[in-house]
Structure 1
Amino acid sequence: MNRIFKTSLIIVLLIAYGCSNTKHLPEGDMLYLGGKVTVEDTLLSKKERKELEDQMEELLRPKPNRKILGMRIKLAVYNLAGKPKKDHGFKYWLRNKVGEPPVLFSQVDLDYNADILQNYSENMGYFRTRTQSDSTSHNKKATALYTVKPGKQWKIRNVTFPGDSVKTQLDSAISKTKRRTLLRPGRPYDLNMIKDERERIDQRLKNKGYFYFNPDYLLVRVDSTVGNYQVDMKLIVKDETPKKAKEVYKINDIIVYPNFSIGQDSITYSADSIQKYKDFTIIDPENTFRPIIYDRTLFFHKGDIYNRRDHNLSLNRLINLGTFKFVKNEFKPADSISNLLDAYYYFTPLPKKSIRVELTGKTNSANYNGTEVNVNWSNRNTFRAAELLSISAFGGLEVQVAGQNKGYNVYRIGSEASLTWPRFITPIHIADSSAFVPRTRALLSYEYQNRAKLYSLNSFKAQFGYLWKDNIYTEQQLNVVDINYVSPANVTKEYDSISNNNISLQRVIEKQLIFGPTYSYTYTNTIRKYKKNTFYYKGSLDLSGTITGLVTGADAKKGDTITVLNVPFSQFVKTEQDFRHYLRLSRNSKLASRIIVGVGVPYGNSVEIPYMRQFFIGGTNSIRAFRARSIGPGTFRPETDENDFLPDQSGDLKLELNTEYRSKLYSIIEGAVFVDAGNIWLWNKNDKKPGAEFSSKFLSQLAVGTGVGLRFDLSFIILRTDLAFPIRKPWLPEGSRWVFDSIDFGDRTWRKENLVFNLAIGYPF
């Protein structure tokens, strides 16, 4: 204890020394603690004043030394390191890379900052703002003080557009954009809004052929003399606007160079290398690509009015092909007389063939962690129309770090071949006008999985389907053909002995044949990181054996089971809905929530959903306070010895709810507090699993857990650790399922039975 006390005292003294951040300041100077803005205005609400103060404080320069948990640790490190004698070494690194020099009050220009606040206020419509600056100091520390008296905010009374009186062709085009104007009567005057309005009109004009127009040719005249804190606005086209900016341009020739090198100064080609295809002139001496890809990706045709939307869509689709390393485009006047543009496209292809070796870390909901090696060979232009042929082989190992299945490692090897066409391959033509190229994909794969000491599984998969995106937020996938065949091998005596009286374990090694269409729809706007509310939704539908079951009249309940290749095919309907909401609370914190609802209904040739398509719950990405796949179904609790292999529990229905508060603690470290709840159930009563069937009491059967965690953002990977414990156990008798009163962190037995440590990669949701 004495040694611990001395060590703690030394650490405290070091921190205290480092936190004496004024000790090494230049003579006569002070440490700058930052600026504080006070808005004095009785017309603004308390909330509006606080928002305005926060916005203005962000404008102040320089920024003070950063604080971490209320302490200027970086500055303390800078002072502790002292002045190094060399421009390298640990001391130099500690002072200049880890540490941060003091921000001095002498660096602060009070008048300059006051002018910045004055200009900001006026740009927001507070035309009669008064600003004052001052400072306060204590113990060689200084704070800048700014007082802003904005007065009443001026608002828009009337807005006049070009074309409201005298109408030229350009004036008329601008006038037609008025319906969605940002400048509306009653709104506050805002200089940024005026700039946004000019950009908006420019974008609309670009879509109507005004190729040479730009926002600087628009002027908004503001009349603030109309009284009553109001302004009139008049939007005009500047007199000095050049003639070509006022004219509509059309597309003339479209010239494509599919083998352009970024470094070349000029392009030379012979006349016999020129190929004409529809409206395109293609310069491709090596005949690298079939012209069909240009017709499907370029939206322009000869005679079309120039349109910025088609311009951007074409570039996006070309990049989205995944065949070109660089894509360049330019428009040139066809001649000096007509309003025609020649469109030039320059493409630099990626290497046609490539090989890639990947070593990845993996984690899954069954609390297994491991690694995988993947070798992939690709051909990006298989049939000269940007088709992607990919052949891969992989091998991996997964182990359970903590859990009852520790020691039962999973070994996987397999291969996969896929061919992707950058278009819809269908009997009928399907028009597509999004920025993303639709794809048709055919896939074949085989995987051999060996679960040490237990069994092996051979798994075959075949798919043919379509993938497409309407925009950056949505994605859809339809597999017209989706076949899975699973066959067991090398079942050990140990597994036979523990599965004899356990139907869950028996189902794992059953032969399974699943075929039918599958569909999924995904929407997410989480890429908009600074939006307060963002969402993620994925819905899926799986229809297995539907047509075959109807044609054959299969009815497993009556004993009329139909087999294909001596295996009863599965017939069921399954859907899963995954909805997530992210609430941004501040710059460094958010609240993430998720709800998953899954339903699977067997019928016809099946009395239950095949094991590989059933629902599971619990584990690192699910309800983290319970062992992986150990919850349910319903109130059922399997009885197993401490050293026995723990079977995965599966169900036909699933309900899961999660919420997690995430906050950045320091640099790469983020903390989390979470609550998870959920369960799975069976459709039909099972005498070997009492309490497993779904009923009206399902809410009272939810398992609930809570815990805390840390996330380490290493830029290339996010390492996650969670420590959780249950607060509601569904298998206990009704009225006794909440277990708050039994929580005892000091009890070793309780910790062993209830504390669950999760180590995973990435966020749980």
Structure 2
Amino acid sequence: MKFNLTYKLIYLFLIGSFYSCSITKHIPEEERLYTGATLTIESDSVIDNKPALKAELESVLRPEPNSKFLGMYLGLYYHYKNQKEHPGFINRWLYKQFGEAPVYQSDVETYDVEDLLLNRLENRGFFYSRASSAFQEEEKKASVDYTVKVTKPYRMESYQLDTLPNPIKKDIQDLVKESPFKEGMRFDLSSMKLERKRIDQALKKKGYYNFNNNFLIFEADTNRYDNKKFDLYLKLKNEVPEKSLIPYRLSKINIYPNYEVSDSVQTATTRYNEKNYIQKETFFKPKYLDPFIVLNEGQLYNPEDSRNTARRLSTIGAYKYVNIQYKELDTIATDSMGSLEANIYLSPLNKRALRAELQVVTKSNNFAGPAFALTLSNRNLFGGGETFNVSPKIGYETQIGGEKNSGNTSLELGLENELIFPRVLFPIKIDNNFFKYSIPKTKISLSIDYLDRTDLYTLLSGTALFGYLWDANRFVTHEINPISVNYTQLYDTTPEFEEILDNDPFLRRSFEQEFIAGLTYSFSYNEMVDTQKTHQFYVNFTFDIAGNSISLFGKDQGEGNPKTFLGLAYAQYAKADLDLHYHFNFKKEQVIAARLFGGYGLAYGNSDVVPFVKQYYSGGPYSVRAFNIRSLGPGTYNPDTDGTNSDYFDKTGNIRLEANLEYRFPIVSFLKGAVFADAGNIWNSKENPTYNGKDKFSSDFLSELGMGAGVGLRVDIQSFVIRFDLAAPFHNPALPKGERFHFDVSKPILNFAIGYPF
């Protein structure tokens, strides 16, 4: 049976759950299992923010006891199972995934924990406190009760600056005035560390290139008081280097636009905007590179400007390395000012690159076949960081099973040309300083596609885009295409296909809209760039509107006929999508990933149906994986029982809802595994008579979701992922009510794809 291994894993996991409560028989005779510790705080005064103090103290309670799941020690159970002479492959794998070594009473060093508790209390101003502990022992288990008796804390009476040399004295004096430290605050070592970092970062922005926060030291004086008060003094440590106490200015900025490590001599220097551009020949034109550099001669050293410059240069897309180095220049410090030379080394990527992609497509109508795409890139095309991509593609599909029909083969050819400028192309000059994080890119693309469906039709389509793409900050990206034009032409239609269109007016009208012109906008918020975060969120919102502008020039073709523009019927609609992702990284390489998607398209004005190429579909390797690509829905429609034959076409609708949940885990080396469940469907907001009314969205939509579950295998090599997902449906909305819930593992769907689904 195909799922023998899966069932065996589930069986062993459940058996482990039942038996993990009896792990006491494995505990050595002279030991007790450590079950954790409790902490009690006793105080002779009111403690500000007592929960935060208790949380910090509890963080030092060591060691951590063995984890429990629903009251059972699963990890400990699999550890003991693995200690057998022949544990078997499955038990070894379960131990590697979930096993934990036992923590015994003898592993607990209560005196060390008491010292840590007192240390944390002193760091927060509770000096002369006391800590004690006592074991609570049962037959085979033991816990610890810790008690801390907290004294009244020391509080600050004043915060002032000790004697310092100029010019740093005045700068630190100004920063001390802005300090969050206030009279009466409790002594807190962590706050003092943060204060040192705050002052250091502020001084760096004022030009103190050689300063370090470790040069600062705090001293607390209690001699003037007998009621637990202190004066806090900020001073410099002894023997701080003199060069650390003066600010630095940038006296020279050198940029190497085409730097190679092997280069020893650069022959040509171009002076532009008070910067030196040094290159053997003009690789990157200074006037185009200069806006990315926010460093200027004569300004004070500022590490934030350095980071901004490096980030902006790296977004151009022409460089693999950006390295900014500073060199101290010999100067006479009569004005208490140092000088720096900034050298910006830019190592370019290969000017040309070639990427190939091979796909295998399978569809619900038994169509399958390969698709092959190439992308040829030319970087820095005109000497201004431009990138030109040419992407030809070819795809072939044939009907490999079932009853052969007309249109049982199809050939698709495509060619896309894309030109990206790392700057704003706009009739009115826009100040690049308005975009502080990164300079927007201008994208121009032109593509053409040819689709030939044997004995049915030929479809020719072309798309032109002009728009802008930019990062507002590390997480937020905007993309707007004020010009988005799509043209489709259906020709060489056969009588059989014309009969299909006659029977499906919605389909005919979706093809008749030959001209689509409008605007698209996309907003993305992506926390996935923070790979160390436990909770990661991703949000994408896309808005697409077409036909409003050209409707002003539309020509009336008579009652019942759509208006035309330049002799072409044009589409008028609005469409919005919202895509939400969440990742919970709870262990090394173990992730629970979730996704929600919702989309709606509204046809109006010159259109009563959204164009076919803009409609939604459901099913496939990036959607509901238990259903073939574009095969789910719309609604509860079933072509096998509803007396219609629409297997020629992908199932589409103007409403789409989907939800996905997936658990990802490591298996061995670069091999990863997954267990997942998906749900989703598409609907129409207006009933299509062809689908016998089963496609219309209603309040009963939850019962019309297609649902499936499965397992996955992924080859993940340095973030390049080849994915295999095997899934089977357990709720099929195309079946009659009462028969929809059925986990049909006899006909699983195998999905092959590149990259993770979400």
Deviation at 1:551, TM superposition (A): 2.8
2:348 corresponding residue in structure 1: 349
Would you say 1:282 and 2:277 are equivalent positions?
Answer: yes
**Residues 486-635 of structure 1: pairs in structure 2 closer than 5 A:** 486-488=488-490, 491=493, 495-507=497-509, 510=512, 512-528=514-530, 534-552=536-554, 554=556, 559=561, 561-564=563-566, 566-570=567-571, 572-580=572-580, 582=582, 584=584, 590=592, 592=594, 594-603=596-605, 605-616=606-617, 621=622
Amino acid at match of 2:256: Y
3-state SS of 1:546 partner = coil
**Residues 317-328 of structure 1: pairs in structure 2 closer than 5 A:** 317-328=312-323
Q: Distance in 2 between matches of 1:102 and 1:701?
A: 48
| Change over 3 Å in CA distance of 1:342–1:464 after alignment to 2 | same
Amino acid at match of 1:200: R
3-state SS of 2:331 partner = coil
Q: Distance in 1 between matches of 2:94 and 2:583?
A: 38
Q: 2:213 aligns with which of 212, 215, 222?
A: 215
Q: Distance in 2 between matches of 1:756 and 1:154?
A: 68
**Residues 357-368 of structure 1: pairs in structure 2 closer than 5 A:** 357-359=356-358
Deviation at 1:757, TM superposition (A): 5.4
| Change over 3 Å in CA distance of 1:592–1:47 after alignment to 2 | farther
1:340 corresponding residue in structure 2: 339
Deviation at 1:37, TM superposition (A): 3.6
| Change over 3 Å in CA distance of 1:351–1:100 after alignment to 2 | same
Would you say 1:305 and 2:306 are equivalent positions?
Answer: no
1:385 corresponding residue in structure 2: 384
Deviation at 1:170, TM superposition (A): 3.6
Q: Distance in 1 between matches of 2:205 and 2:218?
A: 22
Deviation at 1:442, TM superposition (A): 1.5
CA offsets, 1:575-615, max 9 Å, x none? 31405263849556657352524242331x43433221234
Deviation at 1:502, TM superposition (A): 2.2
TM-score for the superposition, normalised by structure 2: 0.75
**Residues 69-80 of structure 1: pairs in structure 2 closer than 5 A:** 69-70=74-75, 73=78, 80=85
3-state SS of 1:245 partner = helix
Deviation at 1:383, TM superposition (A): 1.0
Would you say 1:462 and 2:464 are equivalent positions?
Answer: yes
Deviation at 1:65, TM superposition (A): 14
Q: 2:287 aligns with which of 289, 292, 303?
A: 292
**Residues 125-524 of structure 1: pairs in structure 2 closer than 5 A:** 128=129, 130=131, 132=133, 147-152=145-150, 157-158=155-156, 162=160, 170-174=168-172, 176-177=174-175, 191-222=189-220, 234-238=233-237, 240-262=239-261, 267-270=264-267, 273-337=268-332, 338-359=337-358, 372-396=371-395, 411-432=411-432, 433-451=435-453, 454-488=456-490, 491=493, 495-507=497-509, 510=512, 512-524=514-526
| Change over 3 Å in CA distance of 1:182–1:498 after alignment to 2 | farther
CA offsets, 1:508-537, max 9 Å, x none? 654622223322222233444666765433
TM-score for the superposition, normalised by structure 1: 0.75
Asked whether the 8 Å contact 2:504–2:689 carries over to 1, the reply is no
Amino acid at match of 1:268: V
Asked whether the 8 Å contact 1:635–1:692 carries over to 2, the reply is yes
Asked whether the 8 Å contact 2:57–2:120 carries over to 1, the reply is no
Range moving further from structure 2, 315-324 or 532-541? 532-541
Range moving further from structure 2, 344-353 or 431-440? 431-440
Amino acid at match of 1:213: F
Q: Distance in 2 between matches of 1:165 and 1:437?
A: 45
**Residues 31-110 of structure 1: pairs in structure 2 closer than 5 A:** 36-41=36-41, 55-56=59-60, 60=63, 69-70=74-75, 73=78, 80=85, 110=109
Deviation at 1:315, TM superposition (A): 0.6
CA offsets, 1:650-694, max 9 Å, x none? 445x36363x55545775444445665774413xx7666675898
| Change over 3 Å in CA distance of 1:277–1:149 after alignment to 2 | same
Range moving further from structure 2, 158-167 or 419-428? 158-167
3-state SS of 1:200 partner = helix
Asked whether the 8 Å contact 2:563–2:569 carries over to 1, the reply is yes
3-state SS of 1:40 partner = strand
Q: Distance in 1 between matches of 2:58 and 2:558?
A: 68
Asked whether the 8 Å contact 2:222–2:229 carries over to 1, the reply is yes
Q: Aligned residues: percent identity? A: 25
Asked whether the 8 Å contact 2:37–2:144 carries over to 1, the reply is yes
Asked whether the 8 Å contact 1:720–1:763 carries over to 2, the reply is no
Q: Distance in 1 between matches of 2:554 and 2:166?
A: 71
Q: Distance in 1 between matches of 2:216 and 2:545?
A: 57
Q: Distance in 2 between matches of 1:544 and 1:99?
A: 53
Asked whether the 8 Å contact 2:510–2:612 carries over to 1, the reply is yes
| Change over 3 Å in CA distance of 1:431–1:303 after alignment to 2 | same
Asked whether the 8 Å contact 1:713–1:719 carries over to 2, the reply is yes
Asked whether the 8 Å contact 2:511–2:612 carries over to 1, the reply is no
Asked whether the 8 Å contact 2:425–2:442 carries over to 1, the reply is yes
Q: Distance in 1 between matches of 2:597 and 2:152?
A: 46
Deviation at 1:210, TM superposition (A): 2.1
Range moving further from structure 2, 61-70 or 319-328? 61-70
Q: Distance in 1 between matches of 2:594 and 2:94?
A: 38
Q: Distance in 1 between matches of 2:595 and 2:283?
A: 49
Asked whether the 8 Å contact 2:247–2:300 carries over to 1, the reply is yes
Deviation at 1:464, TM superposition (A): 1.9
3-state SS of 2:210 partner = coil
Asked whether the 8 Å contact 2:547–2:573 carries over to 1, the reply is no
| Alignment: residue pair count | 714
Aligned Cα root-mean-square deviation (Å): 5.4
Deviation at 1:216, TM superposition (A): 0.9
Range moving further from structure 2, 516-525 or 302-311? 516-525
The gaps in structure 1 that reach 5 residues or longer are: 83-89, 733-738
| Change over 3 Å in CA distance of 1:191–1:655 after alignment to 2 | farther
Amino acid at match of 1:56: V
3-state SS of 2:59 partner = helix
| Change over 3 Å in CA distance of 1:679–1:314 after alignment to 2 | same
Asked whether the 8 Å contact 2:155–2:186 carries over to 1, the reply is no
Deviation at 1:386, TM superposition (A): 1.4
Q: Distance in 2 between matches of 1:626 and 1:94?
A: 31
Q: Distance in 2 between matches of 1:598 and 1:488?
A: 26
Asked whether the 8 Å contact 1:500–1:506 carries over to 2, the reply is yes
Deviation at 1:314, TM superposition (A): 0.4
Q: Distance in 1 between matches of 2:531 and 2:489?
A: 45
